[in-house]
Structure 1
Amino acid sequence: MRIHRHIRIFCTHRILRPSRQQLLKLLLATLPGLAWAQSPADTATASPQPLSFAQVQQLIRERNPELSQARHEIGASEGAQLQSRLRPNPSLEYSQEDTRQGQRNLSWQLSQPLELGGKREARMAVADQGRSLAQLGLAIRSAELNALARRLFVDVQLAQAQYQLMQDSRSLALQAQDAAQRRVLAGKVSPVEETRAQLALASIELELAQAERALRQARQQLSLLWGDPLARFSTLEPLPAPVPTPLDEARLQARLAASPLLQRAQAELERRNAQLRLEQARRVPDPTLNVGIKRAEDMGRDLLLVGVSLPLPVLDRNQGQVQEAHSRRAQAQDALRAQQLGLESEVWQTRDKLNLALAALARLEAEMLPAASEAYAKARRGFELGKFSFLEVLDAQRTLFQTRQHWLRSRSEVWLQATELDRLLADQPLP
């Protein structure tokens, strides 16, 4: 095993020769899962076909429990909406005076409450706004999950790219090690140069194992969105959308004005207005119309009963509920204003971060990556020709690896800020 040979060489230079059992314990302690870890495709029963982002969206839409919870909330609001349209039930009353035959008076009476003051219309308005709030809640949660899915999707792709980068780095380190071995065998450099190359290779293999673990964790985080902790997919298809372009103020302002987050705050204010109108309508007493028949056996005839009952709003005029509704409406107005200010602030800050990340990514791709690749290639050719030391090759190699990792982090930052904009604006729900 290559790691075994690297550690043995390292220990030999320190006049130390551990036994095979001690070496195995050292490997188990310092390199967990490196020699025996499965490849990312073998961690679960993987799908043979790459998973597209549209398939991820479909899985989340069908299996995510939070979306199901939001849909049930809409169903509950529809029930409240139906109930608000129903009128009060009539009541039937029966009474009897005296129990002696020929002296009894029997009464049957039907009573119907009458809603006045626009109570029913105000109650229906409250229920309608409640349904609108439930629908907006589903749209917002759907957009948040869509943004989260896209971020995790990109995280998996970046983890895959990082894993591939470390594999490429390992290949470069193997080439550098082979070059150092040839130089040592030719007697042109000290054996210390070969040891340095071997230690550099061992370090890269450690980073390769870490990248593999990070890839497994990223895949699991994505699959948990649809309730699968085993990540039953092999690879991911590239996102269909291109890398985001800088957003100008006009486009961003238009998206901000249509944000469901602001619409939800506005709908909450409308619901509070409707609730206030309902509480004010409840101050008007509702009369009850009574119609019935009374059978007077002592007189041998039926009597028609007609009456009206009316509550007297002397003590309870619903003043407490009206005061609460006024305060709730003022609270909703403040919440809407706070939502507008907070959302605008976060959106503009995120826009600036996105534009900055795009500029950094463009510079990396146009200048830094080509320069680092060219510097490493020249250093390696110079080392093979005896013009440069191996330390210069290692320095150029380290610079190339760091530049590539910086490029990956810059791509991650671009997508992170883009998905954060989608989360804030909530204008891209699951299809």
Structure 2
Amino acid sequence: MQNDAEILHALFQAALKAALPDGKFDGRLPAIPKGRTIVLGAGKASARMAAAFEEAWTHVGGTCEGLVVTRYGHGAPTRFIEIVEAAHPVPDEAGLNAARRILALAREAGPDDLVVCLISGGASALLSLPAEGVSLADKQALNRALLKSGAPIGEMNLVRKSLSAIKGGRLAASVGGARLVTYLISDVPGDDPSSIGSGPTIPERVDPEAALSILRNYAIDVPDSVVAAMRSNALEQHVEGGAVHMLATPKMALDAAAAKARELGLHPLILGDAIEGEAREVARVMAGITQSVVLHGEPITAPCVLLSGGETTVTVRGKGRGGRNAEFLLALALSLKVKEGVSAIACDTDGIDGSEDNAGAWFDVRLFDDARARGIDLASYLANNDAYTAFAHLDRLVMTGPTLTNVNDFRCILIRP
């Protein structure tokens, strides 16, 4: 069997491969229309989705055009669909202009046309078109506050929808009489289509008071103009959302990792694909389960891997560097005191853990010895929300670059006898 680091990285790579859109349009393509096929999209995986759609669509004799916006550095080569890059997680002018152009293309579609929407995680920030009365600066400030608040992604997206001129089904409302088909890569717990990228093509009437209540719960102050815009931005008319297809989900990625684990002679146990909560609290729970396996052989016997997905959050109180996966992993190591035979990896499947340049991090049984040898107090780094720096000093960051997909967090704890 391979060493711990090789096993952990192999399982992560298996999960990533399963989350890519390549080949997943086969058998899910609509009929070729009489008119144009207009492809619109947004998200960290949207450029790779556009390339995969082009390949599948031209293979069956179709032609297409369109525009997709993705995060800086997450582009992919395409022949017919224009790829624009913009900022994430805090929106910028490039994303604003791309959203305007996407909305304009949707409005051009006629009854003989087909509109294909490609949406993945990250679309909420990338497809940023504020409602009337809200400036880009307002949305940027609100996004920063939400990211630091510890609010789960579902609550953040509900607030974003309430302030958007394009999300929450408003893109679908702009399509008019054209046929609409949406393809999704899920990065949200539960795979709710209306939550993925804040559901630009999934009609939903968002209660503005619910969004305002979320802001109050996290003590986020917004100008009176933003409050007024929220209350006047409800999607009133009946809108048809069209067909929806899910290309990849967190569960598909975990299943692929489980299959790879079996190939390596390990017993896999998937603890869940929709785990949310403060990263440190989730780590403590995972540590407890790991202890039970080590001491009692329950709920599974070693050699095994405990797999999980979802999206944790971090309430930022320190001034360090570190995304939610590095924070989870450092908290897990400290909770476990890194027992003999236990190693782990935690990464964001888009290749970017929060706003850093790493996908995540990993550890093995040598973590504490290496830290002591270098004079690194791991608990102090965690207290300062500085897990990135700790793992960087110990050469245990996972660096993939943009993976061109996004099915949220991947966590794996490897336990040997």
Q: TM-score range by the shorter chain?
A: under 0.3
Name the TM-score, length of structure 1 as normaliser: 0.18
Structure richer in strand, relative to its length: 2
TM-score (norm 2): 0.18
Greater share of helix residues, 1 or 2? 1
